[in-house]
Amino acid sequence: MTKSGKNGPKQGSSDPELGDLSARLKELSGRIAAERSEQAESAKPPASMQSTSDYARGYKLVSEFAAGTLVGGLIGYGFDWLFGTLPFGLIIFLLLGFGAGFLNLARAANRVPPAQERLDTNPPPKAALDDDDEED
């Protein structure tokens, strides 16, 4: 026969070592949670830095828009200077530059994904693939 002391504690008995281990585990979990919350608080930038990043983002958006419009105007003026059609090329390319600047502004603000992303994420509708079946 075997002795119960060597095989470990019986199911009904409470071991003081396991109770101590459980208390230590709870204490360790509490310390880990406190450390994580402290690290999360220290990772947040101060309020003055958050407003600075907002200003930087605003300047980036304005520069994206202004650059597109300016480049379109310069290309239009150059086109007019070469061919002698002063107002027409400037107006057309200025409008194209305005549109390109607005598109760059939307992309920089993460509103419009690039064209390839839009094509990959939106497969054609199933009805468009089964057109041959409907004609019968």
Distance of alpha carbon 69 from alpha carbon 91, whole angstroms? 11
pLDDT (mean) for 104-125: 70
Torsion of CA 72, 73, 74, 80, to 10 degrees: 110
93, pLDDT greater than 90: yes
**DSSP 8-state code for residue 46:** P
Nearest 5°: the CA angle 19, 20, 24 is: 120
106, pLDDT greater than 70: yes
pLDDT (mean) for 29-52: 76
Distance of alpha carbon 31 from alpha carbon 80, whole angstroms? 72
**pLDDT given at position 3:** 47
Handedness of CA 70, 72, 78, 83 (dihedral sign): negative
User: Which is higher by pLDDT, 64 or 125?
Assistant: 64
Task: Return the number of other C-beta atoms located less than 10 Å from residue 48's C-beta.
Answer: 7
In a domain, 17, yes or no: no
pLDDT (mean) for 94-118: 80
56 close to 35: Cβ distance less than 8 angstroms: no
In a domain, 14, yes or no: no
68 close to 102: Cβ distance less than 8 angstroms: yes
In a domain, 81, yes or no: yes
In a domain, 64, yes or no: yes
pLDDT (mean) for 44-68: 77
CA 132 to chain centre: 41
In a domain, 27, yes or no: no
Secondary structure of residue 89 in the 3-state scheme:
helix
Domain housing 108? 55-122
pTM, entire model: 0.46
**pLDDT given at position 69:** 93
In a domain, 1, yes or no: no
pLDDT (mean) for 20-45: 84
Both tokens of 32, joined, read 């880990």
* Number of domains into which the chain is organized: 1
Name the residue with tokens 């090329």.
89
